[in-house]
Homo-oligomer: A and B are copies of this chain.
Amino acid sequence: MGRVVIDVMPKPEILDPQGKAVVGALPRLGFDVFTSVRQGKRFELEVEGDVTPEVLAQARRAAETLLSNPVIEDVVSVREADTAEVQA
Question: Could you list which residues of chain A lie within 8 angstroms of chain B, going by C-beta atoms?
Answer: 4, 7-9, 11-12, 19, 22, 25-26, 29, 31, 33-48, 54-55, 58-59, 61-62, 65-67, 74, 76-77, 84-87
Q: Given the complex, which residues of B lie within 8 Å of A86, measured CB to CB?
A: 76
Contact for A42 among B26, B31, B41, B55, CB less than 8 A: B41
8 A–B contact pairs at CB < 8 A?
A4-B34, A29-B62, A31-B58, A34-B46, A34-B47, A35-B48, A37-B43, A37-B45
Q: Given the complex, which residues of B lie within 8 Å of A12, measured CB to CB?
A: 87
B44 touches A42 (CB 8 A): no
Q: Given the complex, which residues of B lie within 8 Å of A9, measured CB to CB?
A: 42, 44, 87
